[in-house]
Amino acid sequence: MSFLDGYSGQKFLASYGISGPKQHLATSAEQASAAAMRIGFPVVMKIAAQELVHKSNKGLIVTGIPDAAAAKAAFMGIMTRAKGIPADGVVVQETAHGNELIAGARHDGQFGPIILVGSGGILTEIVKDIQIGICPLSKAQLRGLVEKLKLYPVLQGARGTVSDIDEIIKVLDGLQRMLKKVQEVEINPLLCGKKAIAVD
């Protein structure tokens, strides 16, 4: 099975109406610094490695980078920690904001094509707030999955950030249509505010 990392997969996701953050691929500290200045600080930097799914627990994502000097240092640090990992470089990415979801779709051996949505970010496996549906689902049915989440009150603004549920439905619908071409796709986190942004 082959993988697309967040950088390589952004154009593919965009073809299904799923937005991603502004980002550039850097292969040197100087390129990373220049890309960060074009995007605007603070930025996020992460390794671009197709076979590496979980990056945060390996120290291969750096957030809140405030200036050009820090961008150069972050690039060098990531590449040092990634020694021995086949990588295309480092992705320099704008800092997106919103409530964190996980969204995905896959061909299940028992149920066929399924879609999932739940609480995302680094706590996904701890919180275990996931809803699963068998595709194809109407937009109303997709909305029903979102409304069943424990996170739903937060999406409605319980902690200050209101998420546009229609934007989340748009992403989920794109993911289920994507199953005609891929075996499995996962976005984590999907940052949801006024827009839903596929960060990784």
pLDDT at residue 91 above 80?
A: yes
pLDDT at residue 1 above 60?
A: no
Of 91, 95, 96, nearest in space to 32 by CA:
91
pLDDT at residue 66 above 90?
A: yes
Q: Do the Cβ atoms of 191 and 114 come closer than 8 Å?
A: no
Q: Mean of the pLDDT values across residues 36-40?
A: 97
User: Which of 24-38, 40-54, 58-72, 167-181 is least confident?
Assistant: 40-54
pLDDT at position 161 is 87
d(CA 155, CA 38): 31
pLDDT band, very low/low/confident/very high, at 3 (cuts 50, 70, 90): low
Q: Do the Cβ atoms of 86 and 51 come closer than 8 Å?
A: yes
Q: Which tens digits make up the pLDDT trace of 182-194?
A: 999 999 999 999 9
pLDDT band, very low/low/confident/very high, at 111 (cuts 50, 70, 90): very high
| Single-letter code of the amino acid located at 100 | E
Q: Do the Cβ atoms of 153 and 65 come closer than 8 Å?
A: no
Q: Which tens digits make up the pLDDT trace of 126-153?
A: 888 999 999 999 999 999 999 999 999 9
In order of their start, the domains of the chain are: 22-94 (3.30.1490.20), 99-198 (3.30.470.20)
pLDDT at position 10 is 85
pLDDT at position 4 is 64
pLDDT at position 179 is 96
Report the SS3 class of residue 192.
strand
pLDDT at residue 40 above 90?
A: yes
Residue 52 has, within 13 A of its CA and on its CB side, a CA count of: 21
* CA 22 to chain CA mean position, Å: 13
**Preceding omega of 21 cis (within 30 degrees of 0):** no
Buried b (16+ CB within 10 A) or exposed e, 40-74: eeebbbbbbbbebeebeeeebbbeebeebebbbbb
DSSP3 helix / strand / coil % (the chain, rounded to 5):
35, 30, 35
Mean of per-residue pLDDT scores for the chain: 92
